[in-house]
């Protein structure tokens, strides 16, 4: 399998920025974008979208509850239950995956988001060194893990 190009990876950084610009009218601070060499430390709320077809792998969005609550409140949502926070992180992962399809092509098949609660860490499942994007928005940290290879 072949790794994504630098241009392919930039689309994910831009997609993260665009998501926050649209939803919050405030761009996040991208604190780092790097190839991870070990387990990534995640946050309490995780959304995972899997890819198949022309690409194999996952996009994982990991955020703390407070960040998700602030995002929901900005969107006029008052239900801040754990279930709704999980739905929100799953929807963010789904949005980022959908944006990737625009660039990586219509042959990219995207799964329904899997939502997980717990901060045990993000396990890379496809590549030895997944691409990680860490960010801060409104003083809250988050991480997006791009664990994808071209078939």
One pLDDT digit (tens) per residue for the chain, 151 residues: 467 777 777 888 999 999 999 999 999 999 998 888 877 888 999 999 998 888 888 899 999 999 999 999 999 999 999 999 999 999 999 999 988 888 778 778 899 999 999 876 676 565 677 889 999 999 999 999 988 887 7
Residue 137 C-alpha from the chain's centroid: 14
Give the integer Cα–Cα distance in Å for 113 and 63: 15
At residue 134, the pLDDT reads 94
At residue 143, the pLDDT reads 95
User: Class of the 2-150 domain?
Assistant: alpha beta
- Return the closest-CA partner of residue 130 out of 59, 62, 61, 28: 59
DSSP assignment string, 42-92? --SEEEEEEEEESEEEEEEEEE-HHHHHHHHHHTT-----HHHHHHHHHHH
Give the integer Cα–Cα distance in Å for 56 and 3: 10
Cα dist. 122→23, 26, 145 in Å? 25, 26, 8
Give the integer Cα–Cα distance in Å for 24 and 54: 33
- Return the closest-CA partner of residue 30 out of 131, 129, 142: 142
């Amino acid at each position: 399998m072949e790794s994504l190009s630098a241009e392919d990876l930039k689309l994910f950084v831009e997609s993260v920025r665009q998501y926050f610009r649209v939803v919050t009218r405030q761009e996040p601070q991208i604190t780092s974008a790097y190839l991870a060499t070990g387990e990534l430390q995640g946050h309490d709320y995780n959304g995972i979208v899997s890819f198949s077809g022309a690409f194999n792998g996952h996009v994982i969005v990991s955020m703390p509850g407070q960040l998700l609550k602030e995002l929901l409140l900005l969107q006029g949502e008052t239900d801040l239950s754990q279930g709704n926070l999980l739905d929100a992180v799953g929807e963010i992962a789904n949005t980022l995956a959908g944006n990737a399809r625009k660039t990586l092509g219509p042959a990219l098949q995207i799964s329904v988001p899997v939502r997980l609660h717990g901060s045990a860490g993000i396990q890379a499942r496809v590549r030895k060194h997944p691409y990680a994007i860490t960010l801060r928005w409104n003083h809250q940290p988050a991480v997006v893990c791009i664990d994808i290879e071209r078939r």
